[in-house]
């Protein structure tokens, strides 16, 4: 029931948490910086606003506290520096509740349909 409330939220931190869950559903594990970029791409495709990076960080932290994601601070490779960049690797924890609720998530389905249409149009 908790995940359903997050996915149905249309504003605030819970809305951002829902977007984090959606992009992680597509990839299962992403760096925090990638999550922010993917949310931006999804929301701009759907003509919705993009949350701030700070809000995405808060959303990931809250999801981690609730056991919906696993967060590991690690060094990510970067072309900008040979030492790498500190980032958080975020992994979605797949549960029965998550699978049930994400299957009914209209925003994710709308985004997937749009993405599929775009990919089809590029095939020629």
Domains and CATH numbers, the chain: 2-123 (1.10.10.10)
Phi and psi based region of residue 122 (left: phi greater than 0; alpha: psi -120 to 50; beta: remaining): alpha
34/36 Cα distance (integer angstroms): 5
pLDDT at 124: 60
Give the pLDDT mean for 84-102: 92
pLDDT at residue 69 above 80?
yes
> pLDDT averaged over the chain?
92
Closest-CA residue to 21 (of 74, 78, 63, 51): 63
pLDDT at residue 28 above 70?
yes
pLDDT at residue 59 above 70?
yes
Higher pLDDT, 79 or 21: 21
17/29 Cα distance (integer angstroms): 15
pLDDT at 21: 98
Distance of CA 1 to the CA centre of its chain: 19
């Amino acid at each position: 029931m908790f995940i359903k409330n997050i996915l149905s939220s249309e504003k605030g931190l819970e809305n951002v948490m829902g977007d984090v869950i959606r992009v992680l559903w597509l990839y299962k594990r992403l760096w925090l910086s990638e999550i922010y970029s993917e949310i931006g791409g999804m929301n701009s495709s759907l003509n919705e606003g993009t949350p701030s990076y700070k809000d995405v960080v808060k959303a990931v932290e809250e999801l981690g506290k609730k056991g919906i994601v696993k967060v590991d601070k690690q060094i990510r490779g970067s072309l900008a520096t040979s030492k790498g960049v500190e980032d958080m690797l975020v992994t979605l924890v797949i549960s029965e509740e998550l699978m049930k609720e994400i299957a009914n998530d209209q925003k994710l389905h709308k985004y997937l349909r749009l993405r599929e249409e775009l990919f089809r149009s590029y095939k020629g």
